[in-house]
Amino acid sequence: MLTTRQIQILNAIVDNYIQGAEPVGSRTISKRKDIKFSSATIRNEMADLEEMGFLEQPHTSAGRIPSQKGYRFYVDHLLSPFQLKPADVQQARQLLAERYYAAEQIANQTAAILSSLTNYTSIVLGYEVRDAKLKQIQLIPLNETTAVAIIVTTTGRVQNKTIRVPEGVPIEEIEKLVNFLNIKLAGIDLPDLKKHVHQELTTELQRLLDDYESALQLIEQTFQTETEEHVVLKGTTNIMMQPEFRDVEKVKEILEFLEQSDQLIKHFNTAVEGIQVKIGTENREIAINNCSIISATFHLDGTPIGSIGILGPTRMEYGKVIGVVDFIAKDLSQALDRFYKGGQS
């Protein structure tokens, strides 16, 4: 159990190290206005904090830096609520309020905003579809040659894509096809939709539609779903700006990790609500043992459908990043609700 004095000193050391990226000595702490203890007292307390595992002493310095345990205590017990600057709030809301024509545009814009506001690497992950079941499909003609296919799953996930309409297919035929598919395919796993159409519905479709071959083309395009997580990254080069990552090989390891979508998604859990903070080895991946990931889920109509996150050094501005991630996750959810409920407006 830490004493009040030890907590004050630990808080001061973490704050100083986050801002300066240099080991912190007792003399530096004693100059802070919020610290009323002598250098000798601070030095003794720092030694005790190191013995308890909250601080570490680099071999080349007399000062101390926070350990992973120290950062965890700081995040769990010492952080104050962070308020975004009004200008940042306005910028983010203006960008997310723009008119979008595809969900991917919103994801890209969100990642750009996160990276810009934090100066770290931002990550936006869409929801997996491999276990999703179909609830409803829509085919919305944009003109004579293109349409937007919208797939809604039973868990509230929504996908949309632009598809090519075969020449000469009337809107009435498209509407007839959509109504038929919604009746016949509700509850079918997304990866099995095309197979189900070919094995179970071919005869009925041939009787129902005037142009069966064109209908098959529409079905093929509509149900050509991705089974992997959709990942958007922004600000990957920001890693190289951090003093901790002057080692080229270390940076290379992190960048290679970020390129592996299947590994990256393991560090995000859309089933957990609220902010998640993983520090150092809590990430269970050697390449990012010196990094922290702060993430939150975003929603569509109250259902979690993906995650946003920030990856940076363990010497991260936790208060600021948590505030940004929390705010953007909520605003992104509102933007998605507007996009899908307001007819993509």
Instruction: Encode pLDDT of 192-249 as tens digits.
Output: 888 889 888 989 988 888 888 888 888 888 887 554 457 899 999 999 999 999 899 9
Q: What's the CATH number for 133-223? A: 3.30.390.60
What ranges do the domains of the chain cover?
Answer: 4-78, 86-128+229-343, 133-223
Q: At what angle do helices 171-185 and 212-222 cross, to 10 degrees?
A: 60
pLDDT-based confidence at residue 271 (cuts at 50, 70, 90): low
56, 67 Cβ separation under 8 angstroms = yes
**Residue 204 vs residues 135, 142, 161, 173, 177: alpha-carbon distances, Å:** 21, 27, 26, 14, 11
Number of residues that make up the chain: 345
Type of residue found at 55: L
Query: pTM here?
Result: 0.73
Q: What pLDDT was estimated at residue 337?
A: 82
CA distances 174 to 139, 143, 183, 225, 344, Å, are: 7, 13, 14, 20, 20
- Which pLDDT score is estimated for 275? 94
Domain 86-128+229-343 indexed as CATH 3.90.1580.10: no
How far is residue 336's CA from residue 29's CA, in Å, rounded to a whole number?
Answer: 46
pLDDT at res. 315? 97
We find that the CATH architecture of domain 4-78 is Orthogonal Bundle (1.10)
